[in-house]
Every structure is written in structure tokens, then in C-alpha cells.
A = this chain, B = another copy of it.
Amino acid sequence: MHPLQQLMNPSSIAIYGASNNPMKMGSIQLANILETGYRGRVYPIHRSEETVMGLPAYRSIAEVGETVDLAQLVLPTEVVPEMLEECGEAGVRRAIIISGGFKEVPGELGVERERRIRDVAARYGIRFLGPNCVGIMNSLCSLNSTTIVEPPMGGSIAFASQSGAYTAMINPYLRAQGIRMCQTLSVGNEADLDLVNCLDYLRNVEEVKSIGLYVETIRRPREFITAARETARVKPIVAIYVGGTEAGSRSSLSHTGAISGPDELYDGLFRQAGVIRAEDLDHMFDLLWILSMQPPPAGRRMAVITNSGGPGSSLAYHLEKAGLEAPAFSARLRERLDAVTGPLTFTGNPIDLTFETNIFIFKQLLEMVYESGEVDGAFIYGIFGAPDFMVNLKKRFPDLQAMEDTWDQGYQSFLGELVAVSSAYAKPLVVMSFLGTHSSSIRSLVENGVPVYPSAVRSARAMRSLLDYVRIRQGISRE
């Protein structure tokens, strides 16, 4: 069993550093463990308090009365080695060391401290994440030991990161788009378990369909390449790397003690490892999202269906820029499309329905286009749902509320059918829309597994990544 298996799915957790002072990071993390739905046993360890946040507290982990699966340490740097030793003595074999002040701080002292915790861990066979990290999140057992409240749990994206902030703080951004996270692992200084271990573990977590990595350094390049290639056979990996400039490198060193290398070196390393490199975190999640939900296209040919010209032209332009194609449809297909569309519709590809057409025919059009065999996937820009332009009208026409409710239901079932067409043909679908997840239509699409992006360039490069992953997998299999 992989050491991260127990660490990510513990039946019991001891937490050092939580107290009745809410302004401590340990208290925040304990509150989050307790409020996120985790059903295992939770033991606060505290030298003086009888209870911590309403739970019985234990003077030492030895007093708990069971051998806990996982200890999380949120303590002043200098006491970490001793407490880790206490854990070892009590039979604990998995730990997360949140505390900072190790290799990432300048000088020999930090390095020496990190050596000490490694020694203790080695002596007791403890495998651990950190130090200098923020904890883990695992939707599969509703465990959230990080500082973040209400993480967007669910979905099938995993994220392992050398930045704690990125695993924890990005959640409002993800939530606003409807992106869910299955598992996150903050690896900190990687004194023991590192990104290589994360890949080896995540490869076999069936619920995880795509893996993101935030990289400031790869400490074991050879092992990384092996682990990543093995993983990329079964699921895509997307990484960002920010060590490759002078200031980026200086910053990484101070952040996690990472010795980074030039950009080109990492480009080559990722290529060899079968890893897709993203530009930044937002880009990475754009790709992870589609890669976790949509099937690979059989080729580059894409349909664009829109009810607005600008987005249609933008999608056509950017998909070509991304190396995809928007082939002109055959006369035969256009004839079929023309038969069901209005006089102002252009059906050449993009299919531009213009504003006034009944958008329920999107489904029929998508079916015709797929049936023709002329494309391998589709982009849709649709003004789905009535709510936005009805707000002011309703002040003048109160009866519209009932109509809007009916429409809304209609849209919900329509969107379900639209997604079903796409699934039936096993072709990928991307939606572009400026409406966020406050729109029930967008929520419906997202919950049905369709990624929605607010720009053509983001839509196009997301679709392109599906093809990139196909190529990567083919490349690995051929060898």
C-alpha cells in the first residue's frame, strides 16, 4: 500500500497546535476538519488544556488510547522534532508537518532542523508531508485539514503543490467557475514525501481523472520522469513551473528551499515526462477541468454553434490559432442545417443562429453535425436561460415570472439533452459563456460534466489540451 493511501484516508487524526485560541493556525485547521464532514476520530493534543474546542484534549499522543493513523503538527519550529518523536514512540507512522522555519529560511539552522525531523521520521518509519505546508483535502472521505473553509469538494481533479497557498487560497476562484477538487496535497519542503510520491499515489486513485502540479523544483528528476510517464498512460498531468527566471528562482529558494533550473530544462523534462505544461495556475485549472470530464477528440475538426456573431468569430479564430480546425461544412450538411434554421442563420461553420432564433434547436444542430461525421468535437456559445434580460422587463410585466420559471425548467431539461447528444457520440463539448455559476444554466452544464469558459482563447486551448493528451498517451504506448 502506498504511504499516501493511509495519510490521505486516515481513520483517526491527532492534531498538535490546535487550542482554545481561535487565532492559531492549528485551531483554524481543527475547525475545518470538524466542520467539513470528516467522520474519523479526531484527537487534539495539548499540554495544558482539558478540552480543545469542545473535544477532550490529550497531554500526549500516548494517552489517546489508540494508535492514530495520522498526526498533523502545527507547532513552533523548535518543538517539532521532539513531538514527532513522541508520535513515533506512540506508533504513529503518517504525519503532516505544517510548521515552517526549516530549509526555506536562510542559514544553516533551518537545514539542520530539517535534517533532524528526517532522522526522527526515518528512525520510526514515519512518512510525512511537509514541513512548511498547509495540509490536505480529500473529498472521498470529506477530510479537510487545510486553512480553507468550504473547499469545492467533488469532481475528479487532484492537485499536488509545492505552494501551500495555491492549494488552499485558490478555492474562491475555482468555486466561482464551478470547478471541484477531489484531492489536494500540499507538499511544502518535501523533506520526505514529494511530488514523485504524489504521482505514484494518485495514479491509482480511481476517482482522480486529472492531476495538477505546482512546481518550483523537481528534486528527483529521474524518478519524476518515470512516475509521470507511468501516470500519463492512464491519466493526464498538467504542471506549472515558475523557477525558470532569475527572480522566480530567488523566490523559490526562499519559499521552499528549492534549487530551480532554467525554463528550457523544465520544458524538456516535462516533455520527456509526458506532462502538459501550463502557463499559470488559472490556465492549469482550465485544462485540468476539461481533461477530468471530457472524452478525447478523434481529430482536430471542430464545429462552432453560437447565437452571437462575435463569440462565434472569436471561437473560430482561436481554435485555429490553437491548432484545431473549423472546416467549412459540406453542401449536404448545410442543406440539412438550413432546413431547421431561420433566414438570418449562417450554417457554414460557425453556425450563427443570431439573437432571435429559438435556441432549443442547438440540440438538433449538434446532432446533425455529429451525424455527418464532419467534426470531432464542438464549441457552443449560447445565451442559455432567460434570467438576465428579464430583470427589468418583469418590473413592467409581472406575469413574466411564471413564464421565466417554466423557461428555466425547459432550459434545464434542454441542457441535459444537449449534453446527452455529446455523450452519445463520445465527442468533446466546450461551452463559452460570460455568465458565471450564478446562472442556473451554467451550473447545470457544469454539473453535467461540460466545462464553461468565459473567453474564446480559454475555450480553444482547453479543447486543444485533450488532443495534446491523446498524443502524449500514444507516444508513451508506442515505446
Contacts and interface: CB of A to CB of B under 8 A. Distances in A.
Given A31-B393, A311-B163, A389-B149, A250 B328 contact: yes
A269 B400 CA distance: 48
A439 to B, nearest CB: 8
A300 to B, nearest CB: 12
B165 A310 contact: yes
3 cross-chain pairs, A with B, having the tightest CB-CB distances, nearest first: A163-B310, A165-B308, A255-B309
Contacts of A243: 313, 317
A350 interface: yes
Interface stretch (A166-174, A201-209, A360-368, A414-422): A166-174
Interface stretch (A4-12, A280-288, A443-451): A280-288
B25 A436 contact: no
Given A248-B316, A251-B352, A254-B348, A392 B438 contact: no
A22 to B, nearest CB: 4
Interface in A441-468: 454-458
Contact of A395 (B27, B31, B106, B162): B31
Interface in A123-169: 147-150, 161-166, 169
Contacts of A427: none
A352 B456 CA distance: 35
A245 B343 CA distance: 26
Interface stretch (A221-229, A291-299, A319-327, A470-478): A319-327
Contact of A25 (B100, B308, B355, B400): B355
Interface string A156-195: 0000011111100111110010000000000000000000
Interface of A: 22, 25, 27-28, 31-32, 34-36, 53-54, 100-101, 104-106, 147-150, 161-166, 169-173, 176, 214, 216, 240, 242-248, 250-252, 254-256, 279-283, 304, 308-314, 316-321, 325-326, 328, 343-344, 346, 348-350, 352, 354-356, 383, 388-393, 395-397, 400, 434-436, 438-439, 454-458
B350 A247 contact: yes
Nearest to A309: B255
A22 B397 contact: yes
Contacts of A166: 308, 310-311
Contacts of A36: 392
Given A31-B393, A149-B390, 10 more contacts: A22-B400, A35-B392, A100-B354, A105-B343, A149-B392, A171-B434, A247-B350, A248-B317, A255-B309, A280-B318
Given A164-B308, A173-B454, A248-B316, A396 B101 contact: no
B247 A280 contact: no
Contact of A314 (B281, B316, B383, B390): B281
Contacts of A148: 388-389
B165 A311 contact: yes
Given A27-B393, A101-B344, A250-B328, A255 B149 contact: no
Given A100-B344, A458-B282, A164 B317 contact: no
Nearest to A110: B344
Given A150-B391, A348-B250, A320 B280 contact: no
Nearest to A171: B434
A261 to B, nearest CB: 13
Given A149-B389, A169-B308, A320-B246, A280 B457 contact: yes
